[in-house]
Amino acid sequence: MRRVAMVSIALFALLIGNLTWVQFFQSDFYANHPRNTRVQLEEYSRQRGAILAGSEPIATSVATDGELKYQREYPDGPLYANLTGYKSLVHGSSGIEGAENEVLSGSDDRLFVDRITDTFTGREPAGGNVILSVNPKVQEAMAKGIGNSVGAAVAIDPKTGAILGQFTSPSYDPNLLADHDTNAEAEAWKSLNGDGDRPMLDRSASDRYPPGSTFKVIVSAALLEMGYTPDTMVPAGNSYSPPDTTHDITNSNNQCPNAQMPLKEALALSCNTTFSRLCVEEIGPEKIAETAAKFGFEEGYSTPLDVVASTTGTLGDKATLAQSCIGQNEVAATPFQMAMLSAAIANGGTRMAPHLVKELQAPDQTTLERTTSEKLGDSVDPEIAAQLQEMMVGVVNNGTGGNAKVDGVVVGGKTGTAEHGDGVPEHGWFTGYAMGDDGKPAIAVAVFLDSAGDGGSGEATSIAGSVIRAALGK
């Protein structure tokens, strides 16, 4: 009897231990297991909260006649797909749908009282809302400007770090992945992932490209910190032979024939020879890497969506440095980072933390949380930022960035053309900013066009001008 009792006690102990392990330590595993249909039925029995761009709903839940009571819908699917992400029965969620899932699904701890109240009042439970900082007019201007081209654009409020627009092309329709027909959803998933144009890749933040001449803004910042001024005479000419290589640095269209010119003119005309020579002979790799890092290179962001870190790569020997300082070699940047660059300059040298979520709301639209601005650091002193602004305004008014001009608005910027392989058309770039009527920075924008070829930087610059007009209502 004693032995039977001991065995029984041991079995009960094992049973209780296993129950404790399953209920407490493996609760998340079983709650989120794809075969646990009860959790899925419960989740889809609640109306998921909306995602809004300003006051415009860009992700909503609508009632169905099926076993799953609500289905996710994206009214302007491809326009915001890189931001909203998708909510899929099979493949989970991405984008804001994933990052803010607890609020949207109603499971956030701050909504506990709402859930208890719903139980007693019989009110249908619902999720909270996520309001983005995106300006729909800015997003639409980006999409219209880029059209069917491959590329991306990002716009930021320099004063606060609020993201005003973030678009990538080609895009995809997240409604296809929200389909309750799992066979149709699986086919859409297979098709999207097999598409050679990679429509599910967010080119604005998840991939890096050689920034070309837009990187000369960082080289200019390094020079100004070393005591140069916008009016300092610097070497130019249409050919420069760096040490340790037979490859000459040249300028397109021979636009810098004079032996010398002011630094601001060299930036306005985008003289490769000037910036390569000064990097090799005056600045050096350490100073370039340090200056780039202060603007955010080698640093990722979370908005809460992830932004991969841009990099200067290995600056290496003098021949390599000469290429790196015109945005080639291993230098690689996201359009997001290049918008952050102009935002810091427009904001007097202060780099603000970028954020996409403006406000989180309870189901009754009361505020759960409102995002506040946060300073990341000083990229340059205000005096240096003012000089960079002067030089970038010169690029738009007197140089290669004329397509970004907006009547009655102070616009500064820098164009860029970047090689990325033999026989492949060059990338086109523009990064810049605009001041508001109050004289304060209103918007910073970067536009990237993949393999746009001749005229690509001019096209990117025109798109940036359209985005600025949309943001300022011009």
CA distance linking residue 160 with residue 142, whole number of Å: 21
User: Which amino acid is it at 398?
Assistant: N
Asked if 135 contacts 356 with a C-beta cutoff of 8 angstroms, the reply is no
- What is the phi/psi pair of residue 348, to 5°? 75, 20
Asked if 256 contacts 237 with a C-beta cutoff of 8 angstroms, the reply is yes
CA distance linking residue 109 with residue 315, whole number of Å: 48
CA distance linking residue 318 with residue 360, whole number of Å: 51
**Dihedral sign, CA of 329, 461, 447, 285?**
positive
For residue 440, give both structure tokens: 């304060």
Give Cβ neighbours of residue 295 (< 8 Å, ≥ 6 apart): 218, 221, 337, 340, 341, 344, 351, 379
CA distance linking residue 325 with residue 284, whole number of Å: 10
CA distance linking residue 390 with residue 412, whole number of Å: 8
Give Cβ neighbours of residue 310 (< 8 Å, ≥ 6 apart): 208, 296, 297, 298, 332, 333, 334, 337
CB atoms under 10 Å from CB of 186, counted, come to 16
Q: For residue 451, what is the DSSP state? A: T
For residue 386, give both structure tokens: 């003012």
Give Cβ neighbours of residue 302 (< 8 Å, ≥ 6 apart): none
Whole-angstrom CA distances from 356 to 34, 233, 266 are 30, 42, 36
CA distance linking residue 467 with residue 443, whole number of Å: 9
Nearest of 170, 184, 278, 272 to residue 224 by alpha carbon = 278
* Cα within 13 Å of Cα(131), Cβ side: 16
Q: For residue 303, what is the DSSP state? A: S
User: Which amino acid is it at 393?
Assistant: V
Asked if 30 contacts 86 with a C-beta cutoff of 8 angstroms, the reply is no
CA distance linking residue 394 with residue 390, whole number of Å: 6
Known catalytic residues are: 213
Concatenating the DSSP letter of every residue in 64-93 gives -SSSS-EEEE-TTHHHHHHHH--EETTTEE
